[in-house]
Amino acid sequence: MKIGFIGDVVGRPGRGMIEAHLRLLRDEFGIDFVVANTENASHGFGLTIKNAHELFGMGIDAMSGGNHTWDRKELEEVLDDLPILRPYNLPLGVVGRGALVFDVKGEKLGVINLMGHFSMPMCDNPFVSVKEAVAHVKEQGAQNIFIDFHAESTSEKAALFAMLKGEISALIGTHTHVGTDDMSIDKGTLFLSDVGLSGCRDGVIGVDKEAPLKRFLTGLPAAFEIPSKCKKVFQMAIFTLEGGKCSDAFKIKIFESGERFIQKAYHEQL
8 A C-beta contact, residue 206 and residue 183: no
Amino acid at 189: T
* Set 21, 68, 136, 177: catalytic member: 68
Run of H or E including 144: strand 144-150
Per DSSP, the three-state class of 107 is: strand
CA 57 to centroid of chain Cα atoms: 18
CB contact at 8 A, 241 and 247: yes
Q: CA triplet 30, 36, 41: central angle to 5 degrees?
A: 135
DSSP state of 265: P
Compute and round to an integer the Cα radius of gyration of the chain.
17
DSSP category for residue 91? P
List, in order, residues 6 or more apart from 74 with CB less than 8 Å away.
48, 49
User: If we measure between CA atoms, which residue out of 101, 81, 79 comes closest to residue 90?
Assistant: 79
53 an active-site residue? no
What is the DSSP-derived secondary structure letter of residue 10?
-
**Contact between residue 149 and residue 164 where contact means Cβ atoms under 8 Å apart:** no
> Which secondary structure element, helix H or strand E, spans residue 155, and what is its range?
helix 154-164
- Which helix (H) or strand (E) covers residue 239, if one does? strand 232-242
Catalytic residue numbers?
68
